[in-house]
Structure 1
Amino acid sequence: MVRSNNLQPNQVAFRVPPSCNKFDIHSYLTNIYGVNIQEVRTMNYAATYKKGPRGGKKVDQPAYKKAIITLDEKFSWPKEPEWNKLEREEYDLGFKSAMRKMKGWRMRPSEEEREKLKRVANEKMAKMEEKAKK
């Protein structure tokens, strides 16, 4: 499913393979999820290409089809899952490290980042040990 601000409250957008047709999408949603569908609209998007390092073409994004489904009743999105604070912090530190490697900058994290990584790892270990005791 694709979140879009431009859709009406009773519409939902999906990204589907190019081989799916309107009938397939309609029958899948009605049989599997049991929803009443008023209309199915589809749009085909071509693959995007970038130049490769040696001049050849390289697929940047493969071709796909976008389907906009109109439902009988209003659709409401489920709540987005909340990131655990430690997981989010660990993700951010890992992302910084990966970006630094890609840019060819200093490979080692700074002293401050090492302290944060150590603190996050210790807190996660304490939580895991606490769960194991229970």
Structure 2
Amino acid sequence: MVRSPNLQPNQVAFRVPPNCNKFDIHSYLTNIYGVNVQEVRTMNYATEHKRSRNGKTEVVQSAYKKAIVTINEPFVWPAAPEWCALDEQQHKLGTKAAGRKLKGWRFRASPEDKDKQKQVNQDLMAREQGSSGKK
């Protein structure tokens, strides 16, 4: 599934292989997921090539097909899990730390940033220990 902000509430966008046709997508969604499909629209996107400095062409993105499916009931994206928020916080704090490192040794983290980093690391460790205990 692809997040597309310009779609109607009862439309969903998918990224499918180029050899899939509308009938395949329609039958897949109705038979596997039990969704009532009203309409399927598809768009083909070509392979993107990029030329490197030494003159060789490289494939940047392979070809794909985008399908916009209209369903009977409105679709609502599920809420993001809480572990995504922890990873996002860790990424933001790490980016700030890397920026300080680039500025030189004189720019140290504030005590608030250090406390945030410790708290996020503790939460991540607790999550890891909890998931390893379940296995």
**Structure 2 counterpart of 1:21:** 21
TM-score, normalization by structure 2: 0.70
> Contact between 1:90 and 1:120, CA under 8 Å: does it hold in 2?
no
**Structure 2 counterpart of 1:102:** none
Q: Does 1:123 align with 2:117?
A: no
- What is the correspondence of 1:1-134 to structure 2 with a 5 Å cutoff? 1-83=1-83, 86-94=86-94, 111-112=108-109, 119=118, 123-124=122-123, 127=126
Corresponding pairs, count: 128
> Contact between 1:90 and 1:117, CA under 8 Å: does it hold in 2?
no
Q: Distance in 1 between matches of 2:18 and 2:81?
A: 30
Deviations 1:50-100 (A, max 9, x none): 11231111111111100010112222221122346653333334556889x
Q: Distance in 2 between matches of 1:129 and 1:5?
A: 34
Provide runs of 4+ in structure 1 moved above 2 Å: 80-99, 110-113, 115-132
> Contact between 1:86 and 1:120, CA under 8 Å: does it hold in 2?
no
Q: Distance in 1 between matches of 2:84 and 2:68?
A: 33
Identity %: 55
Structure 2 unpaired stretches of 5+: none
Q: CA deviation at 1:122?
A: 5.9
Q: Distance in 1 between matches of 2:43 and 2:8?
A: 17
Q: Distance in 2 between matches of 1:129 and 1:47?
A: 39
**CA 1:30 to 1:128, structure 2 compared with 1: closer, same or farther past 3 Å?**
closer
Q: Distance in 2 between matches of 1:92 and 1:118?
A: 10
TM-score, normalization by structure 1: 0.70
